[in-house]
Structure 1
């Protein structure tokens, strides 16, 4: 990931509704959620939700899959991994043992 893509991701996550959407989709995992389900869970109108989902998708943080007439949204774990990798690229000045507690905390169960 380069600076420009990282800035897009941070800008997308820098708005409260989009941050809530992203966290909700991470929680949903492989099941994902439809835009309607996300909107209902967060009490956000459909047109507002659509705009927020577009911003997150352009930032590479979510992906979608069409299922008939509806679309399911998922957290893009590759996008998240790239963003975290960008942040931790030069972690701890070449002393990886200093980063290990952070990496252990980030590791999913």
Structure 2
């Protein structure tokens, strides 16, 4: 079984490929800009080299489970979640969604 298949099996919903500009905030000290690469009702993959690529490999474990706020200015929407995966080589992070500022809007974006 490939690693990619095992990730797919852990997901509750199928992800939809997108490219939506996002502003990210993790705690008080870390913020950055990037985009959502794929989304679902329960999670998303974010590409944000300014935030994820500069982490040291030893720091990755510390940040897993950390809260992350993702703001989508073009959608007037904020998504709150926790980091479940960080790929420092690709500058990507995967997020498990806890809540949104507008659940109906988020469901609409995921369904389009």
User: Could you say whether these structures have the same fold, taking a TM-score greater than 0.5 normalized by the shorter chain as the test?
Assistant: no
Q: Structure 1 length as normaliser, TM-score?
A: 0.32
Relative to the length of structure 2, the TM-score reads 0.32
More helix by share: 1
Which has the higher Rg, Structure 1 or Structure 2?
1
Structure of higher RCO (CA pairs closer than 8 Å, 6+ residues apart): 1
Higher strand share: 2
